[in-house]
Amino acid sequence: MIRSSLILAGGRARRLENKEKALIPFRGKTVIEHTIDVLEELSDEIIVSIRDDKQKHVLTDFVGNLTMVVDRYSDVGPLAGMLEGFKSASGEYVFVTACDMPYPNAGVIRLLFECARGHDAAVPKWEDGRMEALCAVYRTAPMVREIEKAVKNGDRFILAPVFKLKDVMYVDMEKIRRIDPELRMFVNINTVEDMEKLSEE
């Protein structure tokens, strides 16, 4: 099974004064470099989704020779990046993560790939029913089809295409806690305060 990974880096980070989230400093590197380091051990290919050519120029030095895909649609949110990333992917399955999640866990990602095998997706699910759609593994072809439908219908909701998939494995947090007890995998950087906490590590 060819495994692809997609890093969504096209967000504008308005709550972070439009800073590039991917380039936030963390433990001597940038957040996206840490993510790439983990994914290189787990993936046959890594794709980085970006919003435009200007951002591509900014990120090039940090992502090396990785494939970068530019959003075709604007004002669609993460679905735009997911669509172009999935279209570019050569793997049957794609792990999706956002560039503002600084603690990717290799064991959790392996678990999600394993849970997705033979299904349309493996999506972590909290006890209260919330889902981590931007930290999940999806079968490529069905997601391309359903994201295209959602975009055409003007539905930007990140879970809109997921709810249309026929066979989704929801991975409960208890399984993930066995690998990542503090569930740091799902921490993301949304505010200046989040960034300051990260800089203290």
> CATH code at 133?
3.90.550.10
Q: By CB neighbour count within 10 A (0-12 exposed, 13-18 middle, 19+ buried), where does 118 fall?
A: exposed
Name which of 103, 98, 81, 111 is nearest 179 in CA terms.
111
Structural domain count, the chain: 1
| Range(s) of the domain holding residue 141 | 3-199
Residues 19, 188, 48: CA angle, nearest 5 degrees: 65
Residue 198's pLDDT is 66
Task: Measure the CA–CA gap between 54 and 51, rounded to whole angstroms.
Answer: 8
Given a contact cutoff of 8 angstroms between Cβ atoms, the answer to whether 34 and 43 are in contact is no
Regions of the chain short of the pLDDT cut 70: 12-18, 191-192, 195-201
pLDDT given for residue 1 in this prediction: 79
Is the pTM for the entire model greater than 0.85?
yes
Structure confidence at residue 9 (pLDDT): 93
